[in-house]
Amino acid sequence: MSKHKFLVAVAVAIGVAAGIPGSHRVAAQPGEHGGPGEHGGGKEPPGKPEVVELNLTPSSAQLAACMPDARVDVTVRLTTDLRGFDVFHVQATGLPPDTTFTVFLIEQAGPPFGAAEYIGDFTSDDHGMADNTFRLIVAEAFASTLVDGHRVRVDLNQVGAWFADPTGDDFCLGPDSPVTPFDGDNEAGVQAFNSANTTPLPAP
């Protein structure tokens, strides 16, 4: 082999090894080893998680009049099949300042509410803004109980938020407002917001 041909052959070999454009190296395909991937092995889960958005509104006309600028948005990323839980994000503005709300998945948006599951709290700052994220199963949430000796499943496809403190609603309803059991210490105010006016969570 001539010296010229030898140098050309070496240059091509170096280009192939380095992956230089024009060296005819085949790029790694999605799913091949060595590529990025959430679960290792370079393989991404198929598709993207479904996202459900809900706008919670005041539970009564009186509360709506007392909180005219209130907005409570809930975004749920349905990732249970991928991660074993969904991501429930609540973001709110226009709330009474420095007030805590308890959040429940419920059978019915309004009274008598039916079965309920306590999932977390969010608290407004001194500007009436709040933000929190919960990780739990949302899309397939249900309550299981006995009715006349038979086990019954109740799907929890609605969302409600209560004033966590019995006095939290006094600014609107006065000091004689009802005390409800919708908090961990069994004493809360009335329901402040619910999902009655928005699309419910998807059925399992």
Q: What pLDDT was estimated at residue 201?
A: 85
Q: What pLDDT was estimated at residue 15?
A: 42
Q: What pLDDT was estimated at residue 119?
A: 97
What are the per-10-residue average pLDDT scores of the chain (204 residues)?
A: 43 40 33 35 56 96 98 95 94 98 97 96 98 95 94 96 98 96 97 92 77
Q: What pLDDT was estimated at residue 46?
A: 58
pLDDT in tens, 76-101: 999 998 899 999 999 999 999 999 99
Q: What pLDDT was estimated at residue 20?
A: 39
Q: What pLDDT was estimated at residue 33?
A: 31
The 10 Å Cβ neighbour count of residue 58 is 20
